Chain A
Amino acid sequence: MARPSQLFRNLNAKVASIPMILTALVVFVGGTIWTIVYSFTNSRLLPRLNFVGLDQYERLWSTPRWIISIENLLIYGSLSLIFSMVIGFLLAALLDQKIRFEDTFRTIFLYPFALSFIVTGLVWQWLLNPDFGLQGIVRSWGWESFAFDPLYNQDIVIYGILIAGLWQGTGLVMCLMLAGLRGIDEDVWKAARVDGIPMWKTYVFIVIPMMRPVFVTALVIVASGIVRVYDLVVAQTGGGPGIASEVPAKYVINMMFEAQNLGQGFAASTMMLVTIAIILVPWAYLEFGGRNRRG
């Protein structure tokens, strides 16, 4: 047991860490446990400890709106991951060719990342407006039957959001990839050139495997951002048309603050937590499993 003198040693550092300790224990651990516990209750307007077992989860998974949310998340998530990785890497590789105006191009590719999802969503809502936006312009060129109105078509609305999401987020991936490429020893390139290996082969078989940590980091960042997608949908489509572009994060907020169905909200947010855990636990295991020994 810690004697009082032990407790008061290094007191200033402990005082300075109080906000961190409170945040970690009360908000992060406490808040998470609280939400999980209350997801097993039938709380509606106010949280009440009236346990109903897995009722909320059963209802959740039989709600069409939640199912659509999950489907959207899967489509948006997988495409967003693939495209942002591929495009991000290609742009970084192009910028890494010792070109002129590198800073200018980088600034252009990254500036959307400084903008909020609300701004992003609203701009793309305008660009994809069927009367005045892209569709209207192509039609005014004479292609009367041209149809591209993702925001008013249930079947493709999620791709409209994807376009906006990629516009906002690819710059970040490019930035990370570029940092990764710069971290590769120049000698690797020289050796590959001496051996007469074509450039694309050097990238695919030497450079990309060497950049594994960068890819993993980018993947984790993009993936955990995807699960959080909320503002973009609110601004661009409001979940519509109908409920075609709903996402889990929006379902949670609606249940908690509009539908006065707290239990559903807690169950849905717990499912979001599970999703994150499925993404993160294998990654943490791979990344830090062997590194702990070094401290």
Chain B
Amino acid sequence: MADIALHQTEAIAGPRGPKPRAAFSRRNIFIYGTLIVVSVYYLLPLYVMVVTSLKGMPEIRLGNVFSPPVEITFEPWVKAWAQACTGLNCDGLSRGFWNSVRITIPSVILSIAIASVNGYALANWRFKGADVFFTILIVGAFIPYQVMIYPIVIILREIGLYGSLAGLVIVHTIFGMPILTLLFRNYFAALPEELFKAARVDGAGFWAIYLRIMLPMSLPIFVVAMILQVTGIWNDFLFGVVYTRPDTYPMTVQLNNIVNSVQGVKEYNVNMAATLITGLVPLVIYFVSGKLFVRGIAAGAVKG
């Protein structure tokens, strides 16, 4: 008996006990080694973008994409911003940048305003049939955009907004609606119901409760929605190319036209500077917002 018991305790206390945490155990080397190698793969494109955008063209032709610049020059950045050509226009990416700003800001505000009020109505003021429309909305999020693109062209043409920034803002509001409405509906539904009931007893109505109670209580979810929308709309290409005209093209479309233009000599450094400038806005948002961005993605993931 004693022998067995001893054997058992030995077995438990032996190799199955808590592992000693040596800094350089084989396990750690494997884990960190793999993670570092994979990190290099993920960071390489960013590094190459930065490095290429700081080189002069002669250096690019001689060297390879990974070598750091011998002589750092910011000229490609200046050129990409102010002189790069798309077709006949040679005023650089700045035009696309400001177009994107003019598209993104109203789209973000409008889509969040509509979706948050709508989510609030769905969570707290359910009416007959609301769930049917909501289900259609969520299922609709899976329909390929290509299916709805042309009917929207016709609708926008009918109301005289085809080709204008306002039309594109409406399109972004429509396609942002499923995920945002879901986001806000779920958030408002999770708030304690007593709050809502107490306000009702005090005689507050639909808008008063929304503005005085729901809105101040849910600032985090508004930030998440903003991150989601700003990056999504800034990165959009398809709607930009379909619903705007060349002089109102958003940045992504203009960038693609600059880099993939078949005319002239390819200036890789200017191209990479332009690419980096376009990616900078979402990157800054990503690095600044940190955990909230992840939350936005997780929310976006629910949409599927």
Contacts and interface: CB of A to CB of B under 8 A. Distances in A.
A19 B122 CA distance: 13
A14 to B, nearest CB: 6
A221 B304 CA distance: 4
A131 to B, nearest CB: 9
A111 B283 contact: yes
Contacts of A13: 121, 125-127, 130, 206
Nearest to A265: B150
Contacts of A235: 237, 256, 259-260
A114 B231 CA distance: 7
Contact of B181 (A12, A20, A119, A127): A20
Interface in B119-145: 120-122, 125-127, 130, 133-134, 136-137, 139-140, 142-145
Interface in B223-261: 231, 234-238, 241-242, 252, 255-256, 259-260
A108 interface: yes
Contacts of B45: 112, 123-124, 127, 167
A106 B136 CA distance: 35
A109 B42 contact: yes
B123 to A, nearest CB: 10
B242 A253 contact: yes
A105 interface: yes
Interface stretch (B32-40, B86-94, B101-109): B32-40
21 contacts: A16-B121, A20-B181, A25-B136, A27-B140, A27-B151, A31-B151, A34-B150, A91-B35, A109-B38, A124-B45, A136-B65, A175-B298, A193-B16, A196-B16, A221-B304, A224-B142, A230-B238, A234-B256, A235-B237, A257-B242, A265-B146
A105 B41 CA distance: 12
A97 interface: yes
A228 B145 CA distance: 8
Interface string B256-269: 10011000000010
B285 interface: yes
B161 interface: no
A235 B252 CA distance: 10
A19 B177 contact: yes
Interface of B: 16, 31-32, 34-35, 38-39, 41-46, 48-49, 52, 60-61, 64-66, 114, 117-118, 120-122, 125-127, 130, 133-134, 136-137, 139-140, 142-152, 154-155, 173-174, 177, 181, 205-207, 231, 234-238, 241-242, 252, 255-256, 259-260, 268, 271-272, 275, 278-279, 282-283, 285-287, 290, 293-294, 297-298, 301-302, 304
Given A217-B304, A270-B147, A273-B143, A16 B206 contact: yes
Interface residues of A, number: 93
A175 B302 CA distance: 13
Interface string A98-112: 010001011111111
Interface string A1-39: 000000001101110110111011111111110110010
Given A13-B127, A221-B304, A126 B298 contact: no
Interface of A: 9-10, 12-14, 16-17, 19-21, 23-32, 34-35, 38, 47, 91, 94-95, 97, 99, 103, 105-119, 122-127, 129, 132-133, 136-137, 140, 167, 171-172, 175-176, 179, 193-194, 196, 217-218, 220-221, 224, 227-228, 230-231, 234-235, 238, 249, 252-253, 256-257, 262, 265-266, 268-270, 272-273, 276, 280
Nearest to A171: B42
B150 A105 contact: no
B287 A35 contact: no
Contact of A32 (B32, B137, B147): B147
Contacts of A133: 65
A171 B43 CA distance: 12
Nearest to B34: A94
Contacts of B34: 94
A116 B120 contact: no
Contact of A126 (B241, B272, B301): B272
A155 to B, nearest CB: 22
Nearest to A256: B150
Contacts of B287: 107, 111
A252 B238 CA distance: 12
B51 to A, nearest CB: 11
Nearest to A295: B131
A172 B35 CA distance: 16
Contacts of B122: 17
Contacts of A95: 35
A121 B198 CA distance: 53
Nearest to A236: B260
Contacts of A16: 117-118, 120-121, 125, 206
A227 B278 CA distance: 25
B294 A110 contact: yes
Nearest to A97: B31
B256 A30 contact: no
A230 B252 CA distance: 13
List of 6 A-B pairs having minimum Cβ-Cβ separation, nearest first:
A28-B140, A116-B235, A13-B125, A12-B206, A31-B151, A114-B286
Contacts of A253: 146, 149, 238, 241-242
B155 A26 contact: yes
A1 to B, nearest CB: 13
Contact of A123 (B49, B133, B155, B252): B49
Contacts of B117: 16
Contacts of A19: 114, 118, 173, 177
